[in-house]
Chain A
Amino acid sequence: MGETVLKLPALDYAALAPMLILFFAACLGVLVEAFAPRGWRNPIQLVWSLLALVAALVAVVLRVPDVTAENAQTAVAAVSIDQAGLFLQGAILVLGIVSMLLFGERTLENGGPFVAQAAITVGSEPDRRQAAREPGATEVYPLVLFAVGGMMLFVTANDLLVMFVALEVFSLPLYLLCALARRKRLLSQEAALKYFLLGAYASAFFLFGVALVYGYAGAVDFRTIHTAIGAGTGNIVLLLIGLAMLAIGLLFKAAAAPFHVWTPDVYQGAPTPVTAFMAACTKVAAFGGLARVLYVGFDRTAWDYTPVLGVIAVLTMLLGAILAVTQTDLKRLLAYSSIANAGYLLVGVLGGGREGLSSMMFYLVAYGFLVIAAFAMLTLVRDADGEATHLSRWAGLGKRSPLFAGIFTFLLLAFAGIPLTSGFTAKFAVFGAAMGGNQTWLVLFGVLSSIILAFPYLRVVVMMWLSEPGETTPSVSIPGALTSAALMIGVLVTLVLGVWPSPVIELANSASDFIR
């Protein structure tokens, strides 16, 4: 004895490759900031980030056929890159690529949507200089890469501590990104500060939950927690309070009521590309993580958490829908609709089993593309002050720009869950899963909130088509190639998933398996 051998954990680099690619690319992106000439940074960063995301996606896809129950877990079972994890990672990457296109848009507004430095005020000399020739903050690209990498780790973390680290890795870049809007600066900075403060609270809750669960199970990895709950020897109070605190941290990110209050402010204040990115990718990450915690670690307490989370789901759906009715700003309206959608996702999760998981994953993909397309549309309606997001300003847009209004109407119908759009198939999937899991009451509340939620969407349609254009109706800008591409992808996916959802449903079905 006497000789202690410290064994290095075995790392399966093939499984970790997607994340490694992203983190490496992000670090290199920071170096580009330091060394590349100012004028070159934007194209370099954009191409580099897109390449990194695509490379990571390729790595994920290549990994799919090799995954087995035995080799899914790596790094001492701290990371579990299983089929569901790969599906979620792939979803985050694809949605990340599409929203990255919005980040790169520079033709809508000279100088882009991001401010170069937080202290620069609108209309000042440096701001004008940016409008003339500078690209604005190109740091956003590495920040997005870090965030995407963190999200990918988050959905595959098999251990509460790794999960916490991943949570911070993807949250911190998001806080920064929110503060970088070039227009309506104070709103943006206020949003970032709010998000940061509340996010820090949520993280603290999560960490405290980890500690309590450790007190219960004596470990932080899901397999041990699962076993400990099965044995039932620990102090149940520690377990339940610990799980509740974990859930608070996760539901905060998922924007579920009553932890949703940051959402409208942050969605409104953040630069619109960031909002799109958050609405699509953060949702995937948050629900992927939540599902893994509930399905893998704590599935044996399902009897305890299902009613509580059911109440939260109902609250989220109703609150999101009712408050959406009163909104007059489109970004806030979409924020409240995203809260309601968090409720629908939760309904799917509570359906339980493979169906619950696969319906949730399908919903995440469908909703992600839809919401990116919707926010991309918002970036197009502009006046001298930037984006015109007040509802009243959209009056009569249908007469001036029928194509724009037509596409946006289609997206709103998708939000409302009208058939032939992905909104319908996705809703059907989660409600079906919940009904199959004997959660009929959740479906009834889901239907009720859908009815309420249809009204605000319809109001926008009425505004665009049936109202007369006013003096101040803003113009619809011609989107640049990048925004057009993002929009086209979003709209097409929304249509295809509505008409022919089979391939994605089958993919989600075959991937709906967490490895414990």
Chain B
Amino acid sequence: MKYLSILTLAPLVGALVVAFVPRNKPQLAKQLALLVSLVVLGVAVAAWFAFDSGDTAQRLQLQESYTWIPAWGAKFSFGIDGIALVMLALTAVLTPLVILASWHDAERSKRSVPAYFALLLALEGTMIGTFAVSDVLLFYLFFEVMLVPMYFIIGSFGSDVPAKQRQYAAVKFFLYSLVGGLFMLAAVIGMWVLGGHTFDWQTLTNAEFSTIAQRWLFLGFFIAFAIKAPFFPFHTWLPDAGGAAPAGAAALLVGVMDKIGTFGILRYCLPLFPEASRWFAPWAIALSLVGIIYAALLAVGQNDLKRLVSYTSIAHFGFIGIGIFAFTFQAGSGAVLYMVNHGLATGLLFLVVGMFVARRGSTLVTDFGGAGKLMPLLAGIFFIAGMASLALPGLAPFVSEFLVLLGVFTVNKTVAVIATVGIILAAAYVLWMIQRTTQGNLNPALADVAPMKKDLNLREGIIVAPLIVLLIVLGFYPKPVLDVINPAVQATLSDVVTPERADPAPATSTVEAGK
């Protein structure tokens, strides 16, 4: 079965259909969008079981290939490794939940409802596309086109901030990403010229680039991915975009879209330019470390909930960054697992924050206070999301954070120690946020806000339940995900590291360590 092309095309076709639903039938558009995203989820589950995670399996699986531009050697070719598979699954899981969570968002912004859900589906399709393709030009195509739906989602449908700020955030998001994308374009063209006029990923991994060429090409790709992820100092667009986007879209933005940056590093930078990756690794680790500390400090000082969560993400991306560039097996699979867990945890956090904000009509921490007294259930879920975000043992992010630190510690103790400071700061910003919003005395202003008295409703329960279940299950039993990730991480690292440096930690022992 052609899983990958279906996974990529179904949401895009769905988006087209939903876009043409008449404006006066918003309900139909929503149901249609939800249906499409559920179908995608079903296909993704099928693809998960079709994927062979054995030791002897091919690196890229479920391959498909169709002619596209033969004159340039570009093909519509698909193929995923374990890393792409888990990211794809994450996208497929989050999108229906986000669509459910956004059920009333479009009405609040007084814009066309079908357009909003069409944009969400288009976003899903383009994001899945970036994970599913094995042709570099096609990857670039999805990488860039993805900006367009997100731009309109932020610019037109963000409803918690004034119009001017929304426009500013949307344009900033677009320009930042475009700058990165164009650097990548230059690198893609350079790679195409030097690599023998092909875009085939597998062929290019075998191409020999000179040291200097490798470094420049690496830089082109890395800047694009570092802006996308975002790493310090390319991060300033994220708090604006995350703060202005509707909460559901923000969950997708931080939960999945930003991971395309780290995914790109793993899929393109390391295997294609191994020598340059080693050369740049200290710099990348330094940027990640600064990001961990700096973004965490900024998060502590935030008064805007959505911006706060955005900053926490930047800090978390720092952990993923050191995990990737430590070049040890444990750190690598920890980083990939982190990408999944962070998608779940921060996705949940953003969605819950969205529920708070929708009730209160404000994103400011100081506008809440003691909300737990009014809505014990929602406050409890907020607490769980916060605990996941600070990597409490028993919840999924702990396993990945621990693996990353463990893997980094074996090669560089200083880095690991500095990164640990980030964990302490994470406790500070999460606990402080929860304390100031849900604990303590009831903020008298809240008593007059009628929606604040409505606790979790059924729709919201359906949204948060799968995420919480996944966070707990993966917290105790990450093996299914690790089994898929490990061969891919092993293959990626063996591209970069000479055999004697790669510590041959088998999959089972890392699971033990994770527990």
Are B174 and A458 closer than 8 Å at their CB atoms? Answer: yes
How far apart sit A413 and B178, CA to CA, in the bound complex (Å)? 11
Are A440 and B178 closer than 8 Å at their CB atoms? Answer: no
Q: Does B445 contact A (CB under 8 A)?
A: no
Are A432 and B189 closer than 8 Å at their CB atoms? Answer: yes
Q: Does A502 contact B (CB under 8 A)?
A: yes
Q: Does A148 contact B (CB under 8 A)?
A: no
B68-121 interface with A by 8 A CB criterion: 68-72, 112
Residues on the B chain within 8 Å of A462, using CB: 155, 167, 170-171
Q: Does B148 contact A (CB under 8 A)?
A: yes
B182's nearest neighbour on chain A, judged by CB, is A447
Residues on the A chain within 8 Å of B185, using CB: 427-428, 431, 447
Are A466 and B145 closer than 8 Å at their CB atoms? Answer: no
Are A418 and B170 closer than 8 Å at their CB atoms? Answer: no
Contact of B71 among A417, A455, A465, A505 (CB under 8 A): A505
Instruction: Produce 1/0 per residue, B470-489, CB < 8 A to A.
Output: 00000000000000000000
How far apart sit A501 and B70, CA to CA, in the bound complex (Å)? 10
Q: Give A231 Cβ to nearest chain B Cβ, in Å.
A: 34
Of B67, B147, B148, B185, chain A has the most CB atoms within 10 Å of the CB of B185
Are B155 and A465 closer than 8 Å at their CB atoms? Answer: yes
Residues on the B chain within 8 Å of A440, using CB: 190
Q: Does A454 contact B (CB under 8 A)?
A: yes
Residues on the B chain within 8 Å of A419, using CB: 140-142, 144-145
Residues on the B chain within 8 Å of A424, using CB: 141, 144
Instruction: Produce 1/0 per residue, B137-173, CB < 8 A to A.
Output: 1001110110110001001100000010011001100
Q: Does B469 contact A (CB under 8 A)?
A: no
Contact of A506 among B71, B140, B174, B183 (CB under 8 A): B71
Whether A466 contacts B166 in the complex (CB less than 8 A), given A435-B193, A450-B182, comes out as yes
Q: Give B387 Cβ to nearest chain A Cβ, in Å.
A: 38
Are A444 and B145 closer than 8 Å at their CB atoms? Answer: no
Q: Give A179 Cβ to nearest chain B Cβ, in Å.
A: 39
For this complex, into which size category does the number of interface residues on chain B fall? 35 or more
Instruction: Produce 1/0 per residue, A428-448, CB < 8 A to B.
Output: 100110011000100110010
How far apart sit A416 and B171, CA to CA, in the bound complex (Å)? 14
Instruction: Produce 1/0 per residue, A388-430, CB < 8 A to B.
Output: 0000000000000010000000000100111110001101100
Residues on the A chain within 8 Å of B145, using CB: 418-420
Q: Give A464 Cβ to nearest chain B Cβ, in Å.
A: 11
Residues on the A chain within 8 Å of B174, using CB: 454, 458
Whether A443 contacts B69 in the complex (CB less than 8 A), given A420-B141, A462-B155, A466-B163, comes out as no
How far apart sit A458 and B175, CA to CA, in the bound complex (Å)? 9
A504's nearest neighbour on chain B, judged by CB, is B71
Residues of chain B whose beta carbon lies under 8 Å from any beta carbon of chain A? 67-72, 112, 137, 140-142, 144-145, 147-148, 152, 155-156, 163, 166-167, 170-171, 174-175, 178-179, 182-183, 185-186, 189-190, 192-193
Are B72 and A505 closer than 8 Å at their CB atoms? Answer: yes
**Can you spell out 5 A-B residue pairs with CB atoms less than 8 angstroms apart?**
A432-B192, A440-B190, A454-B175, A454-B178, A500-B68
How far apart sit A402 and B163, CA to CA, in the bound complex (Å)? 19
Are B189 and A455 closer than 8 Å at their CB atoms? Answer: no
Residues on the A chain within 8 Å of B137, using CB: 428
B140's nearest neighbour on chain A, judged by CB, is A419
Are B175 and A465 closer than 8 Å at their CB atoms? Answer: no
Residues on the A chain within 8 Å of B183, using CB: 447
How far apart sit A501 and B179, CA to CA, in the bound complex (Å)? 25
Are B171 and A502 closer than 8 Å at their CB atoms? Answer: no
How far apart sit A425 and B185, CA to CA, in the bound complex (Å)? 11
How far apart sit A427 and B72, CA to CA, in the bound complex (Å)? 13
Are B144 and A466 closer than 8 Å at their CB atoms? Answer: no
Q: Give B227 Cβ to nearest chain A Cβ, in Å.
A: 12
Q: Give B193 Cβ to nearest chain A Cβ, in Å.
A: 5
Residues on the A chain within 8 Å of B148, using CB: 413, 418
Q: Does A478 contact B (CB under 8 A)?
A: no
How many A-B pairs have beta carbons closer than 8 Å: the answer is 84
Contact of B186 among A418, A444, A467 (CB under 8 A): A444
Instruction: Produce 1/0 per residue, A225-237, CB < 8 A to B.
Output: 0000000000000
How far apart sit A440 and B68, CA to CA, in the bound complex (Å)? 26
How far apart sit A425 and B148, CA to CA, in the bound complex (Å)? 17
How far apart sit A501 and B72, CA to CA, in the bound complex (Å)? 10
Are B190 and A435 closer than 8 Å at their CB atoms? Answer: yes
Q: Give A263 Cβ to nearest chain B Cβ, in Å.
A: 24
Contact of A447 among B155, B170, B186 (CB under 8 A): B186
B155's nearest neighbour on chain A, judged by CB, is A466
Residues on the A chain within 8 Å of B69, using CB: 425, 501-502, 505
Are A465 and B189 closer than 8 Å at their CB atoms? Answer: no
A509's nearest neighbour on chain B, judged by CB, is B71
Q: Give B204 Cβ to nearest chain A Cβ, in Å.
A: 15
Q: Give A507 Cβ to nearest chain B Cβ, in Å.
A: 10
How far apart sit A454 and B171, CA to CA, in the bound complex (Å)? 10
Residues on the A chain within 8 Å of B70, using CB: 502, 506
Q: Give A286 Cβ to nearest chain B Cβ, in Å.
A: 25
How far apart sit A402 and B19, CA to CA, in the bound complex (Å)? 12
Q: Does A451 contact B (CB under 8 A)?
A: yes
Q: Give A461 Cβ to nearest chain B Cβ, in Å.
A: 8
A498's nearest neighbour on chain B, judged by CB, is B141
Residues on the B chain within 8 Å of A402, using CB: 112
Whether A431 contacts B186 in the complex (CB less than 8 A), given A419-B141, A462-B155, A502-B70, comes out as yes
Residues on the B chain within 8 Å of A436, using CB: 193
How far apart sit A466 and B162, CA to CA, in the bound complex (Å)? 11
Are B156 and A465 closer than 8 Å at their CB atoms? Answer: yes
How far apart sit A430 and B251, CA to CA, in the bound complex (Å)? 38
Are B189 and A443 closer than 8 Å at their CB atoms? Answer: yes
Residues on the A chain within 8 Å of B156, using CB: 465-466
A440's nearest neighbour on chain B, judged by CB, is B190
Residues on the A chain within 8 Å of B72, using CB: 428, 432, 505
How far apart sit A466 and B182, CA to CA, in the bound complex (Å)? 25
Of B70, B182, B183, B192, chain A has the most CB atoms within 10 Å of the CB of B182
Residues on the B chain within 8 Å of A447, using CB: 182-183, 185-186
Of B71, B112, B183, chain A has the most CB atoms within 10 Å of the CB of B71
Q: Give B88 Cβ to nearest chain A Cβ, in Å.
A: 20
Whether A432 contacts B193 in the complex (CB less than 8 A), given A447-B182, A458-B175, comes out as yes
Residues on the B chain within 8 Å of A458, using CB: 171, 174-175
Contact of B182 among A420, A425, A451, A509 (CB under 8 A): A451
How far apart sit A451 and B378, CA to CA, in the bound complex (Å)? 44
How far apart sit A454 and B173, CA to CA, in the bound complex (Å)? 13
In the complex, the 6 A-B pairs of residues with the closest C-beta atoms, listed nearest first: A419-B141, A435-B193, A505-B71, A447-B182, A466-B167, A466-B155
Q: Give A79 Cβ to nearest chain B Cβ, in Å.
A: 29
Whether A418 contacts B71 in the complex (CB less than 8 A), given A466-B155, A466-B156, comes out as no
Whether A465 contacts B179 in the complex (CB less than 8 A), given A419-B144, A431-B189, A443-B189, comes out as no
Residues on the A chain within 8 Å of B179, using CB: 451
Q: Give B187 Cβ to nearest chain A Cβ, in Å.
A: 10
B184's nearest neighbour on chain A, judged by CB, is A447
18 further interface pairs, Cβ-Cβ under 8 Å (given A424-B144, A435-B189, A466-B156): A416-B178, A419-B141, A420-B141, A428-B72, A428-B185, A431-B189, A443-B189, A443-B190, A447-B183, A447-B185, A451-B175, A451-B178, A454-B175, A458-B174, A465-B152, A502-B67, A502-B68, A505-B72
Residues on the B chain within 8 Å of A444, using CB: 186
Residues on the B chain within 8 Å of A417, using CB: 182
A437's nearest neighbour on chain B, judged by CB, is B193
How far apart sit A505 and B67, CA to CA, in the bound complex (Å)? 14
Are A428 and B189 closer than 8 Å at their CB atoms? Answer: yes
A452-506 interface with B by 8 A CB criterion: 454-455, 458, 462, 465-468, 500-502, 505-506
Q: Give B73 Cβ to nearest chain A Cβ, in Å.
A: 11
B19's nearest neighbour on chain A, judged by CB, is A406
Instruction: Produce 1/0 per residue, A195-213, CB < 8 A to B.
Output: 0000000000000000000
Q: Give B1 Cβ to nearest chain A Cβ, in Å.
A: 25
Residues on the B chain within 8 Å of A509, using CB: 71
B71's nearest neighbour on chain A, judged by CB, is A505
A463's nearest neighbour on chain B, judged by CB, is B167
